Chain A
Amino acid sequence: MTKDIILEAKSLTKAFGSLVAVDDVSIAIQAKTMHAIIGPNGAGKTTLFNLLSGVLPPTKGEVFYKGENITSLPPYKRAHLGIGRSYQITNIFPNLSVIENVRLAAQAKGKDNFKLFRKVDDFHEYVNKAYEVIGIVDLAGRANDFARDLTHGEKRKLELGIMLACDPELLLFDEPTAGMSSDQVPELISIINQIVQQRERTAILVEHRMDVVMSISDVVTVMNQGRILAEGAPSDIANNQQVQTAYLGDLYGELA
């Protein structure tokens, strides 16, 4: 079975001074699944994400990607291995066009990054890939606008587009619907579904919207105060008494 585990964290710990944000967390992500991580604010979800993507070094513990120890690899090297990440707070290249934002991501994995005196437009491969991606995330109509001029919802889509253009095998979604109004969410979710399932990718999803998590994920891990509280199929989690008291409150108690 270990063959199917794409990402594994072994007793990860991250302390900021005396505050232990992630406390001895071990988690294994099955390949080609949608794995959701939920938990109340301050549970350590984003810190765990930063440890997995390499933005922060762990205080203790190790991270394995396809059996390879990547604990000390910087983010840009993890990106080359096939780990992509989107951000909770929109993190784009504001003064570049939408298409250029995505094109840069498409170019990253190629072998043309050090061609100093060739024109960018001559590399059709990346340009075409970028147009394909903004088609998927439904931004084709705004290809030549500045990224800073997009609406919030569009920026969230661009965020996904940048990640997608890197062509990752493992996608880390950090609250993709953050700050979006409820009527915009279904569209974004369908894009995520399309990205993950059509292409047979693995995804880890941190999300606050319960309805989203319950409907699209295969496995749910619940975190609380830096530790893992429970893990299982969405229906099991919804029925878990411990989880209900810690996080879900009465709402899902009533539904279940």
Chain B
Amino acid sequence: MVNRRDAIKKNKLVSSMKGEGTLLVLLVVLILFPFVMSFITGTGMNEGVTKFWQGQLIIFFIMAVFAMSYDLLMGFGGILSFGHAASFGGGAYTFALLMKHVVPPITHNYRITIGSVNITDAIVLIVVFLVVLLVSILIGLLFAATSIRLKGAYFAMLTLALGSAMHMLVKATDFHKWTGADEGLHGVPVPVWLNPTQNRLTVYFVSLAFLIICYLLMKRMVNSPTGRVIIANRENEDRMRMIGYNPVTYRTIAFVSASIFAGFAGALYSIWNTSATPTMVSAVMTVNALIITILGGMGTLVGAILGAAIMQVISQFFYTWFGARWPLVFGVLFILIVMFLPYGIIGTWRMKKHDLKQFFEQGKRIIAQKKTLNQEEEA
């Protein structure tokens, strides 16, 4: 039995190394991408097509994190929330509000230096992100509180209501002075080195690093003792309770951690757009994450990343091909995907991998048999 376990461990190790290898190659491709693109097209790093595609990838990186955080809730925790955009938008608005209304007077009057180096910007940015963290935790707790007593459709409806309430709050004309109501907050002052128009390459690498860190953290989480209990919540809440876990506790952990990832993604999105708009808080944003997760495969973090990439590419090309009506075409495609790949791209692939392998091996065997038969005939 010990041998058997060792063998399983070895197998796991090999397969995980294979997986990491593919990801590593992808990572190198993504790191080299801007340079290669610039070389091929002959455009500078911060102009033309090269700049445009960096932008597309930045959106992809951020959406991938948002989708993964949604997957953490839905795919792993079995929690169907229609208000997840509240965390994303909450992060975006917290960042934008602070940067626009709170930070300028401070940086105007105070200066923090180490020796002769001015670190005011850096310190301010760190503090702002800490506030984003705090707000995300609070939003996560708020949603977790609704899940204490409600289940299924009722719970989903309440999350939709909560999300809509947040949406209305940022659109409220009462706060026009601060939030810009319907138009949102524009022209958020971002430090020059992090400005997506002036220094897009920096934003590109910051977003890429953000995606990788979030992926690694979430991957760790879903394989941790806590993460496994969160998965058990998806599988069978009653049984989970009966073996000694309080489902509310673990749902709260899922909500808060998903909210933190989404909140940071939102803040980064606000840097990328130098704005925060009501769309970022709307149900459309949540549905985007839902579609991405289903496309890639629920309960697989890699699926959420792949889904986000596909969405980004599709929305880009479909827009040029079909114009403003592209979602109509995409809807049909989405229905087809759900019909033929019910577990998403990665999910279905993982399920069928074994069958496909057998199929090919059978094919190989038949070909080999035929070859030997032919040889025998010739002889």
CA distance A120 to B222 in the complex (A): 9
Chain-B contact segment, one of A14-22, A73-81, A190-198, A207-215: A73-81
| A92 close to B244 (CB less than 8 A) | no
Does residue A246 face the partner (Cβ distance < 8 Å to B)? no
A165 to B244, CA, bound (A): 11
Q: Which of A75, A76, A100, A119 contacts B220 (CB 8 A)?
A: A119
A112 to B245, CA, bound (A): 12
Tell me which residues across on chain A come within 8 A of B8, comparing CB atoms: 144
Query: When the two chains form the complex, which single residue of B223, B238, B245 contacts A91, counting CB atoms closer than 8 Å?
Result: B238
Q: Tell whether, in the assembled complex, residue B241 and residue A76 are in contact, meaning their CB atoms are under 8 Å apart.
A: yes
Q: In the bound complex, what is the Cα–Cα distance between A186 and B228 (angstroms)?
A: 34
Quick check: is B173 within 8 A (CB to CB) of the other chain?
no
CB interface residues, B 227-250, toward A, < 8 Å: 227-229, 231-232, 235-236, 238-246
| In the bound complex, CA of A183 to CA of B241 (Å) | 33
Q: Is the CB of B217 within 8 A of A117?
A: yes
Contacts of B225 in A (CB 8 A): 107, 112-115, 118, 120, 123
Q: How far is the CB of B89 from chain A (nearest CB, A)?
A: 25
Asked if A189 is at the interface (CB within 8 A of a chain B CB), the reply is no
Please report the C-alpha to C-alpha distance between residue A108 and residue B244 in the assembled complex, in whole angstroms. Answer: 6
**Cβ–Cβ contact B226 & A116, under 8 A:** yes
Residue in chain B with minimal CB distance to A110: B225
Encode contact with A along B205-234: 1 for CB under 8 Å, 0 otherwise: 000000000000100110111111101100
Give CA–CA (A85, B238) in the complex, Å. Answer: 11
Whether A91 and B226, one on each chain, are in contact in the complex, defined by CB atoms closer than 8 angstroms, is no
List chain A residues, Cβ under 8 A from B232: 93, 96, 104
Which residues of the partner chain A approach B5 to less than 8 Å between Cβ atoms? 131
A43 on interface, CB distance cutoff 8 Å: no
Interface assignment of A238: CB less than 8 Å from any CB of chain B: no
Which residues from B are CB-within-8-Å of A95?
235
Given contact pairs A93-B236, A131-B5, A116 touches B244 in the complex (Cβ within 8 A): no
Q: Which of A113, A117, A118 interacts with B245 by CB under 8 Å?
A: A113
The reply to whether A166 and B244 contact each other, CB–CB distance below 8 Å, is yes
Please tell me if A162 contacts chain B, counting CB pairs below 8 Å: yes
Closest B-chain residue to A106, C-beta based? Answer: B243
Q: Name the one of A74, A94, A131, A162 contacting B243, with C-beta atoms under 8 angstroms.
A: A162
Which of A91, A103, A116, A117 sits near B239, CB closer than 8 Å?
A: A91
Q: From B227, B240, B246, give the contact of A74 (CB < 8 A).
A: B246
Interface centre among B238, B243, B257 (most CB of A within 10 A): B243
Cβ-closest chain B residue relative to A123: B225
Task: Kindly state whether residue A203 has any CB partner on chain B within 8 Å.
Answer: no
- Residue A140 CB within 8 A of the other chain: yes
Select B235's contact among A93, A121, A144, beta carbons within 8 Å.
A93
Which residues of B lie under 8 Å from residue A109 when comparing CB positions? Answer: 244
Pair A117/B220 contact, Cβ less than 8 Å: yes
7 A-B pairs within 8 Å (CB atoms) are namely A84-B242, A91-B236, A95-B235, A118-B224, A119-B223, A162-B239, A163-B243
Which 8 A/B pairs are nearest by Cβ-Cβ distance?
Answer: A79-B244, A108-B244, A93-B235, A105-B243, A76-B246, A75-B241, A116-B226, A108-B243
Other A-B contacts than A144-B8, A162-B239, 20 sampled, CB-CB below 8 A, are: A53-B242, A79-B242, A80-B244, A84-B242, A91-B239, A93-B232, A94-B235, A104-B229, A105-B243, A108-B244, A113-B229, A116-B226, A116-B227, A116-B257, A118-B225, A120-B223, A120-B225, A120-B227, A121-B223, A166-B244
